[in-house]
Amino acid sequence: MQKLKFEYRIIAGYIVIGGIWIIFSDKVLHYFIKDPDLLTRIQTYKGWFYVLITAILFYSLLKNHLVKVRKAEQKAIDSDRLKTAFLQNISHEIRTPMNSIVGFSSLLKNLNPSEAEKAEYLEMITKSSDQLLNIVNEVLDISLIETGNISINSKRVNINLLLDETYHLFKPSIKKNISFSVIKGLSDFESTIITDDVKVRQIINNLLDNAIKYTDEGYIRLGYSLDNNSLKFIVEDTGIGIDQEYHEKIFERFRKVGSEEQKLYEGVGLGLAICKGNIEIMNGKIWIDSQPGKGSKFFFTIPYNRVKEEETIAANKSGFTGNLDALTILVAEDDEINFIYIKEIFKGTGAEILHAQNGRDAVEMCRENNKIGMVLIDIKMPVMNGYEAIKQIREFRPELPIIAQTAFALSNEMLKAFNAGSNDYISKPFKKDQLLAIVAKNMETEKSRFEISLYDILILAGNLFAISNF
């Protein structure tokens, strides 16, 4: 039933209480008091009493209501201001890398640059494209979080391994005068848990990106420890720090610390809001301890859902050795440029790359060529899409590792790929290391596919249930 508006409720309450009061109090007075003079005097007091009581009642009801309304009004004003600041900020954030991409591309095209210059221009273009992509991803992520369209995709993850990978990923981008270390709070055997590794990586990467951005000297540390039934992570830096006043606000979307000095740093102010959204959906918390000029410590927790030891050993076994000799990979991709990019990634690994331009060709090639040891398949393809092709390939090659490429890491797209029969997925755009890591992980044999499948089915069922409830 729809709730009555506040003003109707208050009027209805006033009339009902007033009516009951008049009828019953009059009856009581007439019953006990017979003297008309005394009755008139008491009636006056009764009137005053009623006025007083209703005034108190109105005051408390109105006050509560107005506090809520004023808060909502302030929030709307704040949100409007933040959105304006965000739009100004984002147009600057987009224009800067765009300028660089357009500028350096035309330099490459129009002038005749030397090899060294070419390499420098390409480096700038790549850097700016990454920056742009980051903004697009952040905006997409925050909208998914705010519309409640994200879900947890849990699997077995070895946290120590994840931290090692993160260390190697970040080490090259950290200034020489800053020491970077990783502290693991559990042994390798104890550190395999069930969690959403994509989200955990995203959170850690975001916090480390910030630590690098705001630190000029000293150290950056990444670590975790077991705290009750949670893993408590810390990303600590000796950078510019954050004033107490902003400790809560920085987790709101579009929020950047207000000082002029800090406004010079790039960023649209979404990173921490995304971290918070992702951590909360995983039943964790995020908070900060920081002092201006001294540095910042960001903490976050995720549940410690430990996996049994035998399974842990299996999970620890994977890892890219750099050698894909004797592996024939079928890349099903209709976009020529994407195919060239993927082929480039595998250059020097020893893998033989075959190309199918649509789903139907991919199915035929798998049927005719037994050498194909892995399929990397795009979902959106002409003639026959990736889902259908995966299903058909599964019918005659149940053991073949198939990795789906999806446009975005949207859970339903990913789930559909899993349901069709793929072993794994990678969301576009991806980098060389990411693709090679996934290929290495899926080079495990038929056995590992079935080892994890029962567990994955349970997780997927949970996810499907969550999605069907949106």
* Residue number, 117 or 289, with CB nearest to ligand ADP: 289
> Which of residues 191 and 290 has its CB atom nearest to ligand ADP in the complex?
290
Q: Minimal distance in Å, beta carbon 404 to ligand ADP?
A: 30
> Residue 126 corresponds to which tokens in the numbers above?
């790549």
Question: Which of 335, 207, 194, 221 is closest to 271 using CA atoms?
Answer: 207
Return the number of the residue (91 or 106) whose C-beta is nearest ligand ADP: 91
Tokens of 389: 């092709």
Nearer to ligand ADP, 257 or 404 (CB): 257
**Minimum distance of ligand ADP from residue 10's CB (angstroms):** 42
d(CA 54, CA 10): 11
Q: How far is the CB of 264 from ligand ADP (least distance, A)?
A: 10
Nearer to ligand ADP, 97 or 267 (CB): 267
Tell me the three state secondary structure of residue 195.
strand
Q: Residue ranges of the alpha helices (H) in 147-196? A: 159-170
Nearest CB to ligand ADP, comparing residues 241 and 386: 241
Minimal distance, residue 70 CB to ligand ADP, in Å = 27
Closer residue to ligand ADP in complex, CB, 93/361: 93
Nearest-approach distance from CB 84 to ligand ADP, in angstroms: 16
| Contacting residues for 52 by C-beta, under 8 A, at least 6 apart | none
Contact present, 138 and 271 (Cβ < 8 Å): yes
The residue among 237 and 413 lying less far from ligand ADP, judged by its C-beta, is 237
- Minimum distance of ligand ADP from residue 158's CB (angstroms): 26
Nearest-approach distance from CB 203 to ligand ADP, in angstroms: 11
Q: Give whichever of 214 and 299 is closer to ligand ADP, judged by the CB atom.
A: 214
Which three-class secondary structure state does DSSP give residue 399? coil
In the bound state, the residue with its beta carbon closest to ligand ADP is 267
Residue 192 CA to residue 161 CA, distance in Å, equals 9
- Give the 3-state secondary structure percentages of the chain, helix then strand then coil, rounded to 5: 60, 15, 25
- Strands (E) across 3-75 are located at none
Q: For residue 368, give every residue at least 6 positions away whose Cβ sits within 8 Å of its Cβ, in sequence order, or none.
A: none
Shortest distance, CB of residue 133 to ligand ADP, whole angstroms? Answer: 14
Helix (H, G, I), strand (E, B) or coil at 414: helix
Cα–Cα distance measured from residue 456 to residue 252, given in angstroms and rounded to the nearest whole number: 34
Pick the closest to residue 390 from 356, 419, 426 (CA basis): 419
Contact 116, 427 (CB under 8 A): no
Measured CA distances, 310 to 190, 306, 313, 316 (Å): 11, 12, 5, 10
Q: Count CB-CB contacts under 10 A for residue 54.
A: 15
Cβ pair 403, 442 in contact under 8 A: yes
Token pair 């073949």 in the structure block, residue:
400
232 vs 256 by CB, closer to ligand ADP = 256
Contacting positions for ligand ADP (CB under 6 A):
210-211, 214, 237, 239-242, 250, 255-257, 262, 267-273, 296
Q: Which CB atom, from 242 or from 327, has the smaller least distance to ligand ADP?
A: 242
The least CB distance from residue 211 to ligand ADP, in Å, is 5
Give the 3-state DSSP-derived string for 304-329, with helices as H, strands as E and coil as C: CCECCHHHHHHHHHCCCCCCCCCCEE
Helices (H), 150-300: 159-170, 197-213, 260-263, 271-281
H/E stretch holding 225: strand 218-227
Which of 142, 193 has the CB closer to ligand ADP?
142
Structure tokens at 464: 């499907």
Q: Is 57 exposed, middle or buried (0-12, 13-18, 19+ CB in 10 A)?
A: middle
